[in-house]
Chains A and B, each alone.
Chain A
Amino acid sequence: MQFSLDTSLDKQARLAQESRDFAAAVPWGELVLKQIRTSQFELSHAHLLHQDKLYRPDKRHYWALRVKVPQHLQDGFGTAPELLVVTIPGEVQSRDLAAAEREIRQDPEQRLDPDLVIVVSDWPELASRLELFPAARGRCVAWQVERGGPDGYHLTALPEALGAALATHDIFNERDPVRGRHVIGRRDEIRHLTQQVLMGRSTGLFGLRKVGKTTLIRKVTDELDSLSVNTPAGFSAPHVEEGSPRALVFFADAQDVVEHSLEALLSLLHRTIEERLARQGLAPSLPRKGDLSRFDRLLEQALAATPLPLCLVIDEYDYLFEPEPIPGLSKLLRLLRAKAQATRRLAIVVAGRDPTLLQAPKLDGVPHPMLGWFQDLWIGPFDKGSADEALRKLGRRVGLEVGSTTLSTAMEWTLGHPLLHRQFGSALWRILRRGNRTADKLPSDPHLKKAQHVFCELDAVRTICQEIRALLSEKYPESYSLLRYLTEGLAGDASDIFAMHGGYGAGPSRVLRHFGLLGGTEQSPVLPGILRWYLKSESA
C-alpha cells in the first residue's frame, strides 16, 4: 500500500483512527505520537510498513508514519516538507529499510524527504545497528526508545534525535564513491557517457584518484541498468531507481583480478558477465574457463540474448598494465575492439589515471589494439556551480548555513576537487557541528579562518596532496617542475614559467590542467590553495 491523497474520506477521522490503531499495536506507539505532537511535527498519515506477512509475520507492529516538518526545521536542515518515520520493534532488518525505501519511491506527491528517514525502535544501540546497512548510513536517523520513565518507555524529543545525528555523523567525510541522488554536478559528463554507451562507443575516463571517476560511471550505469551491481535485497545500491534496463552493464574492477594472467582476467570478466545475465534471466551455459574462445562465445551469446546495448566497465584499468602488461592482454583487447566494431552494441568503458597505457604504439610486441579507439573523457574538478551546490546541499543536511565567503574560499583552496571540497565541509562540521546537538542553523562564514587551519591538518587532505606529489614527481617530472615553479613563483611571471616548460599548451601544462591542478589563464594561473600550501610547507 502507498500513501494516497485524501479526497473523499474525512481526513481528521481517518487520521484519528490510524493513530489509535498505531498506538494499540505498538507498545510505545502512544509515546511516539506524543513526542511528534510536542515537537511541533504533525502526523499526516500512518499505515503498516509491511503489506506482506512474508516480510514480517507480525507485521501489525511495523508502521510507516508520515510527518510534516515544522517550517524552522525545514529551513534549518533543508528537508522536504515531510519526513518518513518507521517504527520497528526489536531488531531492524534490511527488509524494513527496503520497505521504507519503497514508501519514499512510491510517494505520489513526492513531498517525503528522500534522504532522511527516522527509524524509531527499542533495539539497543539502534544508531550502531543502522550503521551496518550501507543504504542507511548518513540517511537514517536513530530515534531510540529507552526503557524507563512513567510509561515504561522513554523517548527524546524528535529535534533532539535529529540534533544528535548531526553532532555525531560527519556527512562530508565520505571517501568512497557515492551513488544515485548523492551524486552532485557532472551533468555534461553524465549525459555524454550515457550517449556513448547507448551508441556502443568506447570511452576512457581519466583523472586523479578519488576525483569521482567511479562515482560518475556508477551514476550512468545505475541509471542505464539498476541491476548492474549485484546487491542483496536491493539494499546496497541506495537511491537507484528500479526500472527496465536500457543497457546491460557488466562492471568489473581490475583490482579483483587474482593473478596477473590473461586466464585470471578472463575468468573475472566471464563471471561478471555471467552473473549479470543470470539476473536478467539469461543463463549462458559455458564452463567458466579462462579461455579466449569461450569468452568470445559468451559475448556472442550475450549479444544474441538481448537487443540491448552491452557495456563492459573495467575500473582501475591501470592494474592490467602494472607493473607489466598482463601477457596476452592484446589478444583480449583486440577481441573486444573487433566485437564492438562489428556489432556497435558493445561499449567498453575503462577508468584509470591517464590514457598513456592505451596510447603506447605496441602491446605484447604488436600494434596496440586500443590505439585511437577510446574517446578520452578527463574527469577534473567540479565547476564552481557544482562545487557550491555540494557544500550548500550537504551543509543544509547538517544545519550549516554555508555562506558565500565560505564558498569562494573553499573553491580557492580546492579548485573544485570533489573529495577535497567535501573535506573542506568536514572541517566546518568539525568546528561547528561535532558534539553540538542543537538543531539551530549555524553560519559558516565567521569561522572560516579556523576552518582553513583545520582543513590543512586533515589526514584525507594530506593524503591527497601527498599522492599528487608522488604521482607527478615519479610519472610526470616536467609537470611537477612546472607546478613547483608556479607554487614558488620562481623565474619571473607565469608566462616565463610556462615558456620554460614548453609553453602553456605543451605537455607539462596540459597534464596539470587535465588533472584539475591548474586553472585560470596563462597570465594568471590558479593552483588549488591546499596544494600550494602543502608544497610550500614541505619546502625547505
Chain B
Amino acid sequence: MADHENPYRWNNHVVAPDVELHRQPRLDETMRALQRGGGVVLLGGRGLGKSVFLRQLETHLRKKPGVAVFTLDPPVKRSLEGGLAELARLLEVPMTTEPAPPSARELIDQFLERRKDVQVVVLLFDELDQYTIQDKESPGTLGRVWFDHLESARKNTGRLGILAAGGLGVYLLRHVLSSSFLSRASWEKLLPFSEEELHRLAEPFARRGQPLEAEVLEAIRLASGGNPALATYALENLWDTTERTPAKVADIYSRFQVTHHEFVRSALRSLTAEELSGVPAKVLDLVRQAGGAVKRGPLLKTVQQAQGAKLDLKDAFDLLESAGLIRLEGALTDDPVHARLVASLLNLTLESHFQGETETGLIGDLEDLLSLMHSMGVDLLQASKGRELLPEAVYSAFLCMGLRSKGWQAEREAQHGAGRTDIKARRPGRDDLGLIEVKIWGRNDYDGIHHQLCSYWSSHVRVGAAVMLTTSDLPNWGSDYKATCLGGPGLVITEQAVCPPVRAHFIVESRTPDGVTARVHHLLLRIPKR
C-alpha cells in the first residue's frame, strides 16, 4: 500500500494488514479449542470485530498442517438439508438425497476419507443471528436444528471443531433442553478495544509523520466506546483531512449517526428484542441510573420478571458487555454490582425534552447528557495520567454529539477565540439559539465562565449553559462556585432544585455589554474516578 493511501475501511473486513489488530491471546486460545475438536461460541455485538477475528482465525488455521478450515454462510434454503448441501459443497463431497440426505457426520467422514492429510475439520460460522432471527414464527429453529445436528458430528468424531459467532442469536438458540451445541461449547467474548489497542490502530498516522494528538484519540475513544468499526470509521475519515481536532471527530460521528443509523439500530437490536423480553434494555437502564453501583435486588427482579426470556443476570451483562455498552468491574455477585456505561455514541439517548421552548428543552437535554457522563465515570478520564480530566474540547465535542443525537443542530467551534463559544445549538427551522460553554474547575480561565458566555450573546440567543466539571469531591462546591465564578455586580442568582447527579444548578441573569438580559444556567458536575 502506498504511503499515503487511506489504509482504513471501517465497513470492510478486508483491512490493510498494517492496521489490523490481532487479539493474540484470544486467537491462540480459540485456535487451540478448535484444533482439539471443541465447540466455541464467540460472543460479540455489531462492529466488535467478529468477522475480522474469524478471518484471522481462518488465516492462522490454514497454515496448520492437518487442519482443514471452512467458513459457512447461512444456507439459502433455510433447512437442515440446506445447511447440509452448503457443507457438502464446501467439502466437495457428493450430496445424495435418496433415501435421505447424508448427515453432517457422514459428510465429514467422507471428507476425511478422501483427505488423509487432514486430522481435524474446523467449521466457522459468522452471523449466527442470521440463523435465528429470520425465523419469524419460531425464532431460532434453523439455528437449533443445524447446530444440534453438527454437535452430534463433533461429539461423536472428536475431529470436528465448530465456532459460531454472534450476539443476540446466541441466546435465541436456547430452548427448554438448551442447545446441545451451546451446552458443551466454551465461550469467548469480544470486548471493545482498550485505549492501548486504539493507539495501535492509529499508528499509520504516526508512520506517515502525522501522529494524532492525544485529545483527538480521546475524542474517538469517547465517541466510539472502543467499538473497532466505529473507531476505524473516525480514522478513515480523518486520514484525508488536515483538520484533526476533537470538534472534527464530533462532526464525523454526528454524520455517522445520520448516514449509518441502521448500524446503530442493529447494534442496539438485542436491547429491545421481543424474544428476550427487553431484559437487556431494562438492565442497561438500571446501570445508567445507578451511576456505577447497581443494587442487585432490582437487577434480579428485572431479569426474573421476564419469564420467557431464559436469561439470567450473567447473560444480560454478557450481552451488554459484548455490545460495547457497559463495563463490569468486579463480580456479579457483589452487592451493589459495580458496572457503568461505556462512553459511546451507542449510549447516547435519543429522546429530547424539547417541546417548543428552547430553554427548557436544551437544559433538560443537557441534564440528561450530564447524567450519562456521570454514569460513564472513569471512561471520561485519562486512563494513562492518573485519571485526570481530559481537555475541555473533548467534553464539548462529546456534548455536541449528544445534542445532535437529540435532534439539535449543534455547532462546535473548532478553534477557541474571541467571540466564539464552545457549542451553539438550535432546533431545526428555528432562529432561537442556545450557547454552551464547558470548563474544568480550577483549569485555565474557569472563573470567567459566566462573563465569557455573556460576551458571546447576540439577539437570537435565548439561553446560555455553563457546564463546570471536576473530579474532586468538594463538599461546598456550590458556594465556592458562586464565590469564584458568579461574583461581581448586577448578577441575579437563583438556586434551582438539584437534579442528581448534577451537584448544583444556578440560573444567573445579568446584563450583557449590549444591554440585553442574559439568562445562563450553571450546571456543576463531578465525574467519579471509579
* Chain A proximity mask over B314-335: 1 for CB below 8 Å, otherwise 0: 1000000000000000011100
**Is there contact, CB below 8 Å, between B184 and A129?**
no
B211 within 8 A of A: no
B301 within 8 A of A: yes
B272 within 8 A of A: no
Given contacts A132-B67, A538-B313, contact A459 B186 (CB under 8 A): yes
* Chain B proximity mask over A121-141: 1 for CB below 8 Å, otherwise 0: 000010011011110010000
A186 within 8 A of B: no
Given contacts A264-B100, A470-B310, contact A258 B149 (CB under 8 A): yes
**Is there contact, CB below 8 Å, between B119 and A210?**
no
A488 within 8 A of B: no
**Is there contact, CB below 8 Å, between A132 and B155?**
no
A194 to B99, CA, bound (A): 34
B163, chain A: closest CB distance, angstroms: 15
A186, chain B: closest CB distance, angstroms: 19
**Is there contact, CB below 8 Å, between B152 and A236?**
no
Number of B residues with CB within 8 Å of any CB on chain A: 59
Contact of B36 among A131, A257, A288 (CB under 8 A): A131
B112, chain A: closest CB distance, angstroms: 7
B318, chain A: closest CB distance, angstroms: 10
User: B104 — nearest CB in chain A belongs to which residue?
Assistant: A256
Given contacts A131-B35, A132-B67, A264-B100, contact A463 B182 (CB under 8 A): yes
Across-interface contacts of A539 in B (CB, < 8 A): 300
Number of A residues with CB within 8 Å of any CB on chain B: 58
Within 8 A of B (CB), among A219-268: 229-230, 232, 236, 253, 255-259, 261, 263-264, 266-268
* Chain B proximity mask over A508-540: 1 for CB below 8 Å, otherwise 0: 000000000000000000000000000001111
Contact of B158 among A176, A264, A470 (CB under 8 A): A176
A94 within 8 A of B: yes
A318 within 8 A of B: yes
User: A460 — nearest CB in chain B belongs to which residue?
Assistant: B186
For the A-B complex, the count of residue pairs with Cβ-Cβ distances under 8 Å equals 132
A290 within 8 A of B: yes
Contact of B65 among A91, A271, A475 (CB under 8 A): A91
**Is there contact, CB below 8 Å, between B100 and A268?**
yes
Given contacts A128-B35, A256-B149, contact A538 B312 (CB under 8 A): yes
A360 within 8 A of B: no
B151 within 8 A of A: yes
B80 within 8 A of A: yes
Within 8 A of A (CB), among B485-511: none
Contact of A540 among B66, B153, B178, B304 (CB under 8 A): B304
Within 8 A of B (CB), among A451-490: 456-457, 459-460, 462-463, 466-467, 470-471, 474-475
Contact of A466 among B36, B304, B312 (CB under 8 A): B312
A300, chain B: closest CB distance, angstroms: 19
A34 within 8 A of B: no
B176 within 8 A of A: yes
Across-interface contacts of B312 in A (CB, < 8 A): 462, 466, 538
Listed residue (B81, B100, B313, B314) with the most chain A CB atoms within 10 angstroms of its CB: B100
B45, chain A: closest CB distance, angstroms: 18
A263 to B182, CA, bound (A): 28
Given contacts A132-B67, A133-B119, A539-B300, contact A259 B36 (CB under 8 A): no
**Is there contact, CB below 8 Å, between B152 and A316?**
yes
**Is there contact, CB below 8 Å, between A268 and B300?**
no
**Is there contact, CB below 8 Å, between B103 and A210?**
no
CB-defined A-B contacts under 8 Å, sample of 26:
A132-B67, A134-B159, A175-B38, A176-B184, A210-B184, A236-B159, A253-B105, A253-B155, A255-B149, A256-B103, A257-B103, A258-B81, A259-B81, A259-B101, A268-B103, A271-B106, A290-B100, A318-B177, A457-B331, A460-B186, A462-B314, A463-B183, A467-B178, A470-B176, A474-B176, A538-B304
The residues of B with any CB-CB pair to A shorter than 8 Å are 32, 35-38, 64-67, 80-81, 84, 99-106, 109, 112-113, 119-120, 148-149, 151-153, 155-159, 174, 176-178, 180, 182-184, 186-187, 296-298, 300-301, 303-304, 310, 312-314, 331-333
The residues of A with any CB-CB pair to B shorter than 8 Å are 91, 94, 125, 128-129, 131-134, 137, 175-177, 209-210, 214, 229-230, 232, 236, 253, 255-259, 261, 263-264, 266-268, 271, 288-291, 316, 318-319, 322, 353, 456-457, 459-460, 462-463, 466-467, 470-471, 474-475, 537-540
